């Protein structure tokens, strides 16, 4: 079990559930995690196991989670909170990232656009800073739209909070992004960690030294924003494997074409790969 002790403060009645690669607190009212926390190291960004794509209920959640039927025909993607690519260092961690406890309903253009860009940028930062502490989740509130028999809430906002806890340049940054296709760049959605705490009511790094100083500013200038991307060591090995295109159609749904392109996009949507 690879867990880091620095997780959000646990509220009364909350139960922390831990898998091989991440920990979370499940919100039964909204049928999804209110936060998912893990540490991503530089070494873990280079290891790779074949992606399973086997979504399944989480047996560790006693109250039961959402399931395939809740998302079927909903028009929403099963959006990972702990990304698959962050869990490919272990076959078990990767498989567990497909539990429905790690999913939240995301607009396709959001999930495959700005959210994917953010996940890739965070992996780059993990390489540059050796490791990062990451907390991700939806902003949950009463009155949200729901999908499926289990009434899975559809969040209007998602957050990602990141902490580099290495001397001498300890720093933090956070993002708060609407669940919709976005044309603006990642920097447009940078906020202070305090801002996310205010919106969610979650205390993210309660035991970390200098917490107040780190969380009150965005520290945007301390992070690398160049266009370099992380290297997917599995890409060349998958070149002959046919997968469903990652592209988004004009109607906002996922393309149904199959492709063997290592970038995951068919010939109709390769231009979308260039913008990721």
Q: Which residue numbers are catalytic?
A: 80
- Distance between start and end Cα atoms, the chain: 32
Looking at the DSSP assignment, which residues form a beta bridge with residue 33?
26
Task: Pull the structure tokens for residue 105.
Answer: 């309903």
On whether the CB atoms of residues 154 and 172 are closer than 8 A, the answer is: no
Task: Pull the structure tokens for residue 136.
Answer: 């991700």
**Burial code of 140-177, b = ≥16 C-beta within 10 A, e = fewer?**
beeebebbbeeebbbbebbbbbbbbbeeeebbbbbbbb
CA distance 53 to 69: 16
Distance, C-alpha 49 to centroid of its chain:
18
Strand-pair category, 152-153 with 258-259 = unpaired
On whether the CB atoms of residues 139 and 103 are closer than 8 A, the answer is: no
On whether the CB atoms of residues 101 and 246 are closer than 8 A, the answer is: no
Cis previous bond, 172, omega within 30: no
């Amino acid at each position: 079990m690879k867990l880091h002790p620095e997780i959000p403060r646990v509220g009364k009645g909350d139960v922390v559930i831990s898998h091989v690669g991440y920990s979370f607190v499940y919100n039964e009212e909204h049928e999804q995690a209110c936060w998912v926390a893990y540490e991503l190291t530089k070494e873990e960004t280079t290891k790779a196991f074949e992606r399973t794509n086997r979504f399944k209920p989480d047996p560790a959640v006693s109250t039961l989670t959402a399931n395939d039927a809740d998302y079927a025909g909903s028009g929403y993607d099963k959006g990972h909170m702990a990304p698959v690519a962050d869990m490919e260092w272990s076959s078990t961690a990767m498989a567990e990232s497909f539990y429905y406890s790690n999913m939240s309903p995301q607009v396709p253009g959001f999930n495959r656009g700005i959210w994917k860009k953010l996940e890739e940028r965070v992996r780059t930062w993990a390489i540059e800073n050796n490791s990062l502490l990451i907390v991700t989740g939806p902003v949950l509130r009463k009155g949200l739209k729901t999908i499926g028999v289990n009434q899975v809430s559809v969040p209007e906002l998602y957050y990602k909070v990141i902490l580099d806890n290495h001397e001498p340049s300890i720093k933090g940054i956070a993002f708060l992004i609407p669940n919709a296709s976005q044309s603006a760049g990642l920097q447009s959605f940078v906020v202070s960690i305090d801002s996310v705490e205010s919106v969610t009511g979650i205390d993210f790094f309660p035991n970390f030294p200098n917490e107040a100083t780190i969380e009150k500013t965005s520290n945007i200038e301390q992070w690398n924003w160049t266009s370099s991307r992380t290297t997917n060591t599995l890409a060349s090995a998958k070149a002959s494997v046919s997968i469903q295109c990652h592209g988004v159609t004009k109607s906002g749904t996922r393309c149904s074409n199959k492709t063997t392109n290592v970038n995951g996009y068919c010939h109709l949507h390769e231009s979308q790969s260039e913008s990721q």
